[in-house]
Structure 1
Amino acid sequence: MDEKGVAERTVLQLMKEHRKRDVPFGRVLSSMCTRPHPLAIKAHMQYIETNLGDPYLFPGTKEVENNVVGMLGKLLGAPCASGYITTGGTESNIQALRVARNLRRTPNPNIIIPESAHFSFDKAADVLGLELKKASLDEHYRVCPASVEDLIDESTVALVGIAGTTEFGQIDPIDELAELALSSNVYLHVDAAFGGLVIPFLDKKHPFDFGVEGVSSIMVDPHKMGAGTIPSSGLLFRHESHMEKLATSTPYLVSKKQHSLTGTRTGASIAATYAIFKHFGYEGYRRIVKHCMNLTSTVEKWAEKFGIETFIKPVTNIVVLRIPSVDTVVPMLEERNWYVSTTPKPKGLRLVMMPHMTEETLNIFLADLGDVIEK
């Protein structure tokens, strides 16, 4: 900073110029996040100074968090689940695996994750001192239970399943993983960061949550398909005793213990989540998911018309197209101000149909994509 400050008006103008360089969501088809709902933004600002690092000082905000955990628990098959709202999927995954490790203290502990798992598990393994074993996928890019079973040994402390994989939006066979977890007496964590607010509202039902016996914990990010503000991730445990494995004494605070990984913890994004959950209800989220799945269907129909294959029939609102020279196509789309991503293995063009996308904008994108491919 400088010796002397500048006027508020000047600062805001500087910030405005920086913000102009950001990509507007309407041109983004690569992100699992979306534009927050206006109500979420209002609620966020109303709670902007709250700090659940010391919930004793913010009992009203803590009650809001308890309500959010209760709503997520009810949605995910365990109304009495314990948990809290974290800073995002990475913290949630670290904390879940921390519980698994602490429940089963063993030399050289390992965890088994699918090859499709998010890179946050690499971070978690590094932070927690866990060996990371990666199970192979089947032809539909779901984890192969037989591969998981082959990797389990006496030092395995947790299995991980994904409900809405980052690359393909695929749902692992959680029920089969749960059988392995129960028979091996191993903790099972489900990463439903993306799918947790999609799968319950699909026409086809998929077993993935606490309705499956053997699931120990599950996480879901309201700042993704929930249209909440960043950062917000719900981490839920079937058993309260598991949550207590995270407790840390906080002698200098009015509150006497914390369960979170972070100390200071905003209540603003939690309030935003509460507001939109109350506002949308199940009916509202069914409408949002239907909109996103309709967009997904639009991409499928366009691809079929152009003779382009999808790697799998989309299960959620992610489509991966088998496009030749995809690494050439991506920068050509960016020249037209479209932002997409690719899957590394197998190589494909990955498109995420989020709530901010409209049918009109999608059709403009598809016209540009067709033009780029033909060139």
Structure 2
Amino acid sequence: MDEHGVVEKEVLEFLRHVKQKEAPFNRVFSSMCTRPHPLAVRVHQKFIETNLGDTHLFPGTKDLEDRVIAILASLLGTQNAFGYITTGGTESNVQALRVARDLNSKKNPNVIVPASAHFSFEKAARILGLEIKKASLDKFYRVDITSVENLIDENTIALVGIAGTTEYGQIDPIEQLSEIALSEDLFLHVDAAFGGLVIPFLEGDYKFDFKLDGVSSITVDPHKMGASTIPSGGLLFRCREHMDLLEISAYQEEKQHSLTGTRSGASIAATYAVLKHLGSRGYKRIVDRCMELTKIAEKKAISLDINPVIEPVINILALQIQNLDEVVSKLEKRNWYVSKTIKPKALRLIMMPHITEEILGEFLDDLEEVISYVR
């Protein structure tokens, strides 16, 4: 640490250089997060000092959190859910499995997840002392229901379904998982970290939320397609009794349900602001536009004899490209940020709100040139 400190101008100049190293969002097709809505940024700054680790000091911000949970609950099929705003999908998934574990007294509990599940479930298993059983996928990269049924045993405590998988954006057959959960008396957690603020605004009727009686909890991240600031995840429970299993007495008789102690109230206020400002019609416009760009990219790919791994369900497109590593390397040299899926190997593109039709056109032109060169 500098003994006498550094003048503000010098610090800001250094930080300006650091910021220039970051990827500009208008070149990013690999991230499930986006540039926050300007209103969210302004509100975040106004509430920057708030800490929901101490609701006694910040009751107004706590009220905003309750309002956010109510808005998310209504979007996810119920008027009466319980939850809190987390740091993101990983914390939400850990906490959901923590509840599932604490509901049971089984000595060697296991949880059945799709092979497509986010790596956060592996983290949760290590922390909580759970065994993870991975169910295979069908030809459309959804969890195979027969595989799930075959994996259930006397030590199974929970099932997990994904609504918007990380690699392909696929939606598992949550309705069938719900039926299994009810018949086997199992906790069912739905990871809709990405899809939770996409699927409700799609044209198709996808059943994945609390409208299904077997769904116990849902993860949804406003800092992804919700266009809020980071960190802003969400964890919702159907039953207060489940939420109460997370309760711990903090100082001064205050009770907490969160995994962390200190919690940003700023991102909660930002989330409230953007949810209220955009409303369902605003989010529908955003999702429609992202889906339109996804279709444009898919059509262009097919014209280049490149097939998608699956027909896009949400705004994620995975393309089966020969010499993929070389293609990605050349795209990166042109300052495009893309990602690869593992099985099968494919070029993964996410059409987030920061992508415009003009930017997509530039990218597709470069992709065509690169593929022509590689071939």
In the alignment, residue 139 of structure 2 is paired with which amino acid? E
**How far apart are the structure 1 equivalents of 2:270 and 2:105?**
38
1:234 aligns with 234
User: How far apart are the structure 1 equivalents of 2:78 and 2:150?
Assistant: 30
Counterpart CA distance in 2 for 1:236 and 1:54 is 21
Q: Distance in 2 between matches of 1:120 and 1:278?
A: 30
Equivalent AA in structure 2 for residue 146 of structure 1? T
User: How far has the Cα of 1:304 moved from its partner?
Assistant: 1.6
Q: Is the 8 A contact 1:311 1:320 kept in 2?
A: yes
Q: Which amino acid aligns with 1:237?
A: F
TM-score (ref. length: structure 2): 0.99
* Cα distance change of structure 1 residues 135 and 77 upon mapping to structure 2, 3 Å threshold: same
Aligned to 2:357: 359
Task: Give the equivalent residue in structure 2 for 1:140.
Answer: 140
- 1:266-311 CA-to-partner distances (Å, cap 9, x unmatched) read 1010111000000000000000000100000101110121111111
> Helix, strand or coil for the counterpart of 1:13?
helix
User: In 1, distance between residues paired with 2:289 and 2:253?
Assistant: 43
| 1:255 CA displacement | 5.0
CA distance in 2: counterparts of 1:77 and 1:206, whole angstroms: 12
1:28 aligns with 28
The match for 1:278 among 254, 276, 279 is 276
* 1:143-158 correspondence to structure 2 within 5 Å: 143-158=143-158
How far, CA to CA, are the matches of 2:139 and 2:301 in structure 1? 21
Confirm or deny: 8 A CA contact 1:178 1:213 kept in the other structure: yes
Question: Which of 320, 326, 334 is the equivalent residue of 1:336?
Answer: 334
Q: 1:150-207: CA deviations, max 9, x gaps?
A: 1111111110000000000000000000111111100000000000000000011100
The letter of the residue matching 1:320 is A
1:262 aligned residue (249, 260, 263): 260
Residue of structure 2 in register with 1:216 after alignment:
216
State yes or no: 1:325 paired with 2:357. no
Q: Could you say what secondary structure the match of 1:243 adopts?
A: helix
The 8 Å contact of residues 54 and 255 in structure 1, kept in 2 or not, is answered as: no
Q: Matched residues in 1 for 2:39 and 2:79: separation? A: 25
SS at match of 1:342: strand
Report the counterpart of residue 183 of structure 1 in structure 2.
Answer: 183
Corresponding position of 1:349:
347
Query: 1:89: which partner in 2?
Result: 89
Conserved 8 A contact 1:53-1:265 = yes
Structure 2 counterpart of 1:305, one-letter code: S
Distance in 1 separating the partners of 2:205 and 2:225: 18
Conserved 8 A contact 1:55-1:255: no
Q: Which residue of 2 aligns with 1:63?
A: 63
* Runs of at least 5 residues in structure 1 that lack an aligned partner in the other structure: none
User: 1-side partners of 2:86 and 2:131: how far apart?
Assistant: 24
1:349 match: secondary structure:
strand
AA in 1 matched with 2:156: T
Q: Which amino acid aligns with 1:226?
A: G
Matches of 1:368 and 1:104, distance apart in 2: 54
- TM-score, normalised via structure 1 length: 0.99
Q: Aligned equivalents of 2:354 and 2:259: distance in 1?
A: 31
Taking the aligned partners of 1:255 and 1:269, their CA distance within structure 2 comes to 25
- In 2, are the aligned partners of 1:56 and 1:255 still within 8 Å (CA)? no
Distance 1:349 1:202 in 2: 24
Q: 1:305 aligns with which of 295, 303, 306?
A: 303
- The 2-side partners of 1:204 and 1:322 are apart by 25
- Deviations 1:218-247 (CA, angstroms, capped at 9, x unpaired): 010000000000011110000001000000
Please report how far the alpha carbon of residue 57 of structure 1 lies from its aligned counterpart in structure 2 after TM superposition.
1.4
- Name the CA distance, whole Å, in 2 between partners of 1:255 and 1:320: 51
Residue 369 of structure 1 is matched in structure 2 by 367
- Secondary structure of the corresponding residue to residue 268 of structure 1: helix
- Residues paired across the two proteins, number: 373
CA distance in 2, matches of 1:114, 1:294: 28
Q: What SS does the aligned partner of 1:57 have?
A: coil
> RMSD in angstroms over aligned alpha carbons?
0.7
- Partners of 1:46 and 1:39 lie apart in 2 by 11
Specify the code of the residue in structure 2 equivalent to 1:120. Answer: S
Q: Partner of 2:19 in structure 1?
A: 19
Residue type of the partner of 2:254? K
Partner Cα distance (2:180, 2:149) in 1: 7
- Runs of 4+ residues over 4 Å off in structure 1: none
1:98 to 2:93 alignment? no
Distance in 1, Cα, partners of 2:323 & 2:118: 25
